[in-house]
Copies of this chain bind each other. A is one copy, B any other.
């Protein structure tokens, strides 16, 4: 079970005021919320650098008229060394599809898989996002 720890930090008045302005603009509920997000972001970057198992989403835009592309995309997913958790497909217009592939695996194998798919003829654009569940649960509000 994870527990919440309180720690004090010190910031210059002006930097703190700037932080509060950004917190309000972005809609965070508290300074702690915002700092947790910043720290989790560091943590994901660190997991990627150390090649730990992470979760990633690969967004592809492609032309489904491209001969055999759908087969190649499915084939590649079946041969992926890690785990494909889910795939979502959206029809953007008469020709273009958007597909999001959710992957689990190590950074290096995920990057290799993404490079392969992005190089296929008919794949027009794509971006890879690496994330992670990260350490500990989120700050849980305790409902009574």
A39 lies within 8 A of B11 (CB): yes
Interface residues of A in 1-26 (CB under 8 A from B): 2-19, 21-22, 25-26
Tell me how far the C-beta of A51 lies from the nearest C-beta in chain B, rounded to whole angstroms. Answer: 13
B19 lies within 8 A of A140 (CB): no
Q: A98's contact among B92, B102, B135, B139, by CB below 8 Å, is which?
A: B102
CB-nearest residue of chain B to A34:
B119
Query: With contacts A6-B9, A32-B9 known, is A138 near B122, CB below 8 A?
Result: yes
Tell me how far the C-beta of A99 lies from the nearest C-beta in chain B, rounded to whole angstroms. Answer: 10
Q: 19 interchain pairs (CB within 8 A)? A: A6-B9, A7-B8, A7-B11, A11-B32, A11-B39, A13-B136, A14-B135, A15-B36, A18-B46, A26-B116, A27-B116, A27-B119, A59-B129, A63-B137, A65-B137, A65-B138, A85-B98, A98-B133, A123-B138
